[in-house]
Amino acid sequence: MAAPKTVGVLALQGDFEAHGRALSQAGARPVYVRTADQLREIDGLVLPGGESTTMLKLLNIENMKEPLAEFAREKPVLATCAGVILMAREVSHPVQECLGILDLAVERNGYGRQIDSRIVELDPSEDFLSRTGAGKLEAVFIRAPVIQNVGPKGRVLASYLGRPVLVEQDQHLAVTFHPELTSDNRVHQLFLKKL
C-alpha cells in the first residue's frame, strides 16, 4: 500500500480539527498549517469552516495570501464554507476581499442567520456517485454561503434549492456545507483521489 498522503488543514481559525479527523478516517495524514513555510510539506490543502473575515485578517497579517494562491496554482484545495468564500472570484453581502482562485461568485450567509442553518439530504450528480459511491449525501449547512454563479471551468457535483453547493474546478473542490461534520466521508475521499 502506498504511503498516506500528507494533507494540510489551514488552522488559523475554525473547525480544522473536524477536518483532521475526517482526513484520518479517509486514509490521509493531516497537518495543521499556520505558516506559509508549512505549505511546502503538503500534497493538498483543506480550507475549513469558520469565519472568513477572521481567516482573511490572519492571512494578511501573516503574509500568507500569495503563498496560498501559489500553492493552489499547482496543488489541490478542498474549500468548505468559509474556505469557499476565501477562494472565490467575487464575494458579496458584504463585499470582501478574496483570492480569486475559483471562478465562483459567492454571497455570504446566503440562507440567513443561525436559525436558518439546516441539515439536508442531497442527490449528488452521477459523476460524483460513480467516482465515490452510491447514496444520498448528508449536507450540514451552518450560516452557509450561496454560490450564485459558476464559471465555465466549474462542474457542479451537487445542488440544493437550485444552487450549486458542491463544485469541482480543475484540481479543486468547493463545498458550501460541512462534509467534515458528518460520518459520510465521500467528499474527503474524492478529494484524496485528486492528490
Partner 1 sequence: MLFDEQFRLKVGLAEMLKGGVIMDVVNAEQALIAEKAGATAVMALERVPSDIRKDGGVARMSPVGMIREIMQTVSIPVMAKARIGHFMEARILEELGVDYIDESEVLTPADEEHHIAKKDFKVPFVCGARNLGEALRRIAEGAAMIRTKGEAGSGNIVEAVRHIRTIVKEMKQLTVLGKEELVHESKKHGAPLDLIEYCAEHGKLPVPNFSAGGITTPADAALVMQLGAEAVFVGSGIFKSPQPEQFAKAIVKAATYYNDPVKILEASESLGIGMPGLEISRLPEAELMQTRGW
* Contact residues: partner 1, CB under 8 A: 11-18, 34, 49-51, 53-54, 57-58, 61, 81-82, 93-94, 108-109, 112-115, 117-119, 140, 142-143, 178, 181
- Which of 19, 81, 98, 168 is an active site residue? 81
Q: Which is nearer to partner 1, 48 or 154 (CB)?
A: 48
Please, what is the minimum distance in Å from the beta carbon of residue 108 to partner 1? 6
Instruction: Please say if 90 is a catalytic residue.
Output: no
As a residue count, the chain comes to: 195
Instruction: Please say if 178 is a catalytic residue.
Output: yes
Please, what is the minimum distance in Å from the beta carbon of residue 30 to partner 1? 15
Whole-number Å distance between alpha carbons of 9 and 15: 10
Residue 60's contacts (CB-CB under 8 Å, 6 or more residues apart) are: none
CB of 144 within 8 A of CB of 111? yes
Please, what is the minimum distance in Å from the beta carbon of residue 96 to partner 1? 8
- Which of 98, 107, 168, 180 is an active site residue? 180
Only one residue has cell 475549513, namely 48
Instruction: Please say if 172 is a catalytic residue.
Output: no
Work out the burial of residue 15: count CB atoms within 10 Å of its CB; fewer than 13 is exposed, 13-18 middle, 19 or more buried. Answer: buried
Of 87, 101, 187, 81, the C-alpha closest to 137 is 187
Q: Which is nearer to partner 1, 81 or 192 (CB)?
A: 81
Active site residues: 81, 178, 180
